[in-house]
Amino acid sequence: MSIATNISLVSVKWLNTNLNTENLIILDATINKQIENNSERIPNARFFDIKQKFSDTRARFPSTLLSTQQFETEARALGINNGSFIVVYDDKGIYSSARAWWLFKTFGFKNVAVLNGGLPEWKKHYLRVEPYKEELIEKGDFTASFQTELITDFNGVNQFSQDSKTLIIDARSEARFNCLVDEPRQGLRRGTIPNSKNLPYTELFNGNILKSKEELLKIFDNLVREETHLVFSCGSGITACILAMAASICNYKNLTVYDGSWTEYGTLT
């Protein structure tokens, strides 16, 4: 049996039931994880290294989008096939897993979902974990296709900020958005992108679990008016993807993530 569905979110119960499905690939997208003998994972998970392999490490800003060729090469090294179904998680609940989800979408892979609640929710239900170990992974055949409309840069976001049909939504905390506290990145000035609105990503959760579609719709309906295009920003392009995923679940279309986010914008302006 194989899985072929365009859902964006799966429960720990669903994943546990489908662990042995032949085309399922589970990815651990925890940021800065040290894979050691005592590192735990959901059974058969493979490490999706956002910082070192799935970002452009030569770029000026953190977590910068990598090239199409590099993404395809690294995804194939993880055994990703065009016919795979991917479930991605992290150790915070839903954090960097949403970035991995968006990267796959950006490079043309649609059959990918985030584990709702991630590893904390998995362990909360006393489901089995195992240690990482050396494994030989058969190279996949995934073919990347860059979807330019899903990502924007400094020049693009400047244009969007002046477009009445576009709403820029910032996932940072209210204190950071309103310039009440310093940015965590040393030397980065406080500030906001012109004409943007604030929606802290933490408001989308009940504990580790993403709020229901109905609850999320109410949140977005309080922000979105006549705009037909939503652009998401944050500190460095990670939590913006949580907003993008939630908006996608709510059936919003025409969604874009500002890759450099405030780290880039605050540096270049």
Catalytic residue ranges: 234
DSSP string, 80-126: --TT-EEEEE-SSSSSHHHHHHHHHHHTT---EEEETTHHHHHHHTT
Cα distance between residue 253 and residue 179, in whole Å: 30
Q: How far is CA 231 from the centre of its chain?
A: 14
Hey, is 141 helix, strand or coil?
Answer: coil
Cα distance between residue 99 and residue 102, in whole Å: 5
CB of 29 closer than 8 Å to CB of 97 = yes
Strand order in the sheet with 196-198: 151-152, 255-258, 229-233, 166-170, 196-198
For residue 218 the two structure tokens come to 């109410």
